[in-house]
Chains A and B, each alone.
Chain A
Amino acid sequence: MKVAIINYNSGNTQSVLFAMERLGVNAFVTENHEEIIAADKVIFPGVGEASSAMKYLMEKKLDEVLLSLNQPVLGICLGMQLMCRQTEEGHTNGLGIFRVNVKKFTIPSELSEFKVPHMGWNTISNLKGPLFKGVPEHSHVYYVHSYYAEMDAFTSAETDYILPFSAALSYENFHAVQFHPEKSGVAGEFILRNFLAL
């Protein structure tokens, strides 16, 4: 199986690559259009700032490549946010694969004990679809983010932090998770395995 991890100058491709190796898959990091298009599975990771990441994607025409893909695609963290319609971070237009918007967490005064970034282990619930097959409700996954995708009909997992948000979105061959499955212990490995099995 050929698993392409899209390199667009935005962070943790190495961690995702290592996670694939631990699952026995030889993935490769690439920004080459042909390699991405020819892959069986495509992972779109990302840690960083949305507007500069999107700018880089467009410069390399990776936005067009991503939109053209028919094989299973998994967006992670910033990757997920860029697959949405729009993000408040740098007022950036995303790829629009998911019709939701991405907003910055704001802490209401009555919830002053909450902190942003939402960083650490939190639970996922209302799990739907093939990515979460066999994953127990309320499994813990690792999060690091300050922006969140709104809830939607295509939400396939949710987490409640300040408010309920999309922990995962799925639309046709496109899947995305806000948390980091590559850093989420056994639960994360389960989800990655499910993705590889699509």
Chain B
Amino acid sequence: MGTKFKITVLTKRIIPCLDIKDGRTVKGVNFLDLRDAGDAVELAMRYADEGADELVFLDITATNEKRKTLTDLVRKVASKINIPFTVGGGISSIEDVSILLENGADKISVNTSAFKNPQLIAELAKRFGCQCVVLAVDTKFENGGWTVFLNGGKVSTGKPTLEWVKEAVGLGAGEILLTSMNNDGTKNGFAIDITQQISEAVNVPIIASGGAGTIDHFIDVFKNGKADAALAASIFHFGEISITELKKELASLQIPIRL
């Protein structure tokens, strides 16, 4: 009775992504008031204050000798910020995940390692719960279909993206971070079609990534792409879009947002 008119008030999430190398952010930022633009903790705190709903840290070093640096960073971030954050990059074992979670990460993301060994998803979900296992998928539209790419988008697997996502969710992936290689870096908008297809095909949250350039792009990916969250890096780092303004604008259009 009336239930069919019920709408979720779970808010759409805005997620800045920080690329990390040797414990520092890689892409430059132009916030003049940051003492050290490369300091990941300071940037994370800034985003949390501006209203980011969550943060993603992608470690692009991810070699074994640098693991310690990443762990230290995770610990510092966890001690300073009061919103959830995900850590990804080079994670390939239960031990990798265990140490990151123990140091305060809320979720971890796996990509290439999970594709090569899908059972890893099942093992992580069983050990830590599916809510902290984010599957990152780099996808590219080629030869008439969306295909999974590995190693930061360099290597094609030939596997249809939808197929892989369904399989991974079946194994226990609790969230999908979907990056369109065609859109990433273009600032021409998110890949609406594949985001929508995946969002409708699986019942775990979808984080859309790649292509954010304007506030309209976020409106589009939430309304038409059915995304649960939208991730962006440079437009936030370079102050092209303020998170506060973005969220106000989205809320004014009746998109559920935490202000």
Contacts and interface: CB of A to CB of B under 8 A. Distances in A.
A182 B82 contact: yes
Contacts of A122: 9-11
B9 A120 contact: no
Interface in B77-97: 78-80, 82-84
A140 B11 contact: yes
Contact of A15 (B106, B129, B205): B106
B53 A21 contact: no
Interface string B50-94: 000100000000000000000000010011101110000000000
A18 B104 contact: yes
A107 B11 contact: no
A31 interface: no
Contact of A140 (B78, B132, B258): B258
Contact of A120 (B6, B79, B130, B205): B205
A49 interface: yes
Contact of B132 (A47, A120, A121, A185): A47
B197 interface: no
- DSSP majority for the A interface? mixed
B229 A120 contact: yes
Interface stretch (A32-40, A62-70, A109-117, A149-157): A109-117
Contacts of B203: 107, 114-116
B4 A183 contact: no
Given A110-B3, A111-B3, A123 B78 contact: no
B101 interface: yes
A14 B104 contact: yes
A30 interface: no
Interface residues of A, number: 41
B82 A160 contact: no
Contact of B82 (A19, A144, A161): A19
Interface residues of B, number: 35
B237 interface: no
B13 A111 contact: no
B8 to A, nearest CB: 6
A58 interface: no
A142 B84 contact: yes
A168 to B, nearest CB: 17
Contact of A115 (B79, B128, B205): B205
A96 interface: no
B192 interface: no
Nearest to A118: B10
Contacts of B128: 11, 47-48
Contact of A119 (B3, B82, B131): B131
A126 interface: no
A94 to B, nearest CB: 17
Nearest to A19: B82
A14 B102 contact: yes
Interface in A96-141: 107-108, 110-111, 113-123, 140
B174 interface: yes
Contacts of A12: 101, 104, 106
Which of B102, B132, B228 has the most C-beta atoms of chain A within 10 angstroms of its own C-beta?
A: B132
B204 interface: yes
A145 interface: yes
A188 interface: yes
Interface in B221-257: 228-229
A186 B48 CA distance: 10
Contact of A11 (B6, B75, B101): B101
6 contacts: A12-B101, A18-B79, A19-B82, A22-B82, A142-B84, A185-B82
